[in-house]
Amino acid sequence: MNLLAVDTTADACSAAILMQDGRIHERCIVEPRGHTRHLLPMARELTHATGLSLSDMDALAFGRGPGSFTGLRIATGVVQGLAWGLSLPVVPVSSLATVAAGAIRQHGLSDGSGIAVAFDARMGEVYWGCFVQRDGLPEPVSQECVVAPESVTLPAGDGRPWFGAGSGWRLSDQFPASVSQTMEACYPDRIPHAADIARLALGPAESGQGVPAEEAIPVYIRDEVAWKKSGS
């Protein structure tokens, strides 16, 4: 299976093609607000680098959030347009899980390790999700949520080693000591990468769990933003 993955949930913009033989080609540029300029040329460049064309793709995947609202809609729009045009299924992938997958891969976290992923969500909150490494991939063990840094929690007393990852760990001085002091190590510089999205999407894509283009929708998590209703 050939799979094209894209991500624009944070300051970085990345695209990757996972090829039939398991090889992955990725392009990544860190440039705030550069997403609209870079994403499609990257996808085109990747097809050249792999010798594949877009019509060789079997599925698409994208970082469905949480993340910057405007940013994550660019990858969403691009995936919607490509999937609609090429009649391909789409696998939406959590950007928190993506960072967990990157941490596992980059730092060789062993089976059973816990990864607590935090993104700075602004407005005094973090996006928060906990994962456990199983067969090399992150498995969610908590609901993804948006909470005040003081309110983040780990699954109760499981005794496993925990690692922190994601930009939200820069606010770890505001986390409860029971969380921050449990960490074996922290990787606040880990950002979502399309290559990890591709790895996470492969299984679901192969088992037919992709959705049609119009169902490729962001997951914002922060849905209750205080948009003031008139009269209130």
C-alpha span between 111 and 104 (Å, rounded):
9
Q: Smallest distance, Å, CB 223 to other proteins?
A: 9
Q: Are 5 and 18 in contact (CB under 8 A)?
A: yes
Q: Are 142 and 114 in contact (CB under 8 A)?
A: no
Pick from 18, 74, 91, 121 the residue near other proteins by CB under 8 A. Answer: 74
Q: Smallest distance, Å, CB 92 to other proteins?
A: 12
Q: x-or-dash pattern for other proteins, window 5-44, by CB under 8 A?
A: -------------------------------xx-xxx-xx
For the chain, what is the largest distance between any 2 Cα atoms, rounded to a whole number of angstroms? 59
DSSP 8-state code for residue 202: H
Q: How far is CA 139 from CA 54, 136, 167, 220, in A?
A: 30, 9, 20, 20
Pick from 24, 29, 45, 77 the residue near other proteins by CB under 8 A. Answer: 77
Nearer to other proteins, 33 or 134 (CB): 33
Per rule CB under 8 A, is residue 123 in the interface with other proteins? Answer: no
Per rule CB under 8 A, is residue 50 in the interface with other proteins? Answer: no
C-alpha span between 148 and 124 (Å, rounded):
6
Q: Smallest distance, Å, CB 211 to other proteins?
A: 12
Q: Smallest distance, Å, CB 136 to other proteins?
A: 31
Q: How far apart are the first and last CA of the chain?
A: 53
Name residue, tokens 């995947």: 61
Per rule CB under 8 A, is residue 69 in the interface with other proteins? Answer: yes
C-alpha span between 180 and 190 (Å, rounded):
17
Q: x-or-dash pattern for other proteins, window 133-152, by CB under 8 A?
A: --------------------
Q: How many residues interact with other proteins (rule CB under 8 A)?
A: 34
Give counts: helices (H), strands (E), the chain.
5, 11
Residues of this chain that interact with other proteins (CB under 8 A) are 36-37, 39-41, 43-44, 54, 69-70, 73-74, 76-82, 84-87, 213-214, 217-218, 220, 225, 227-231
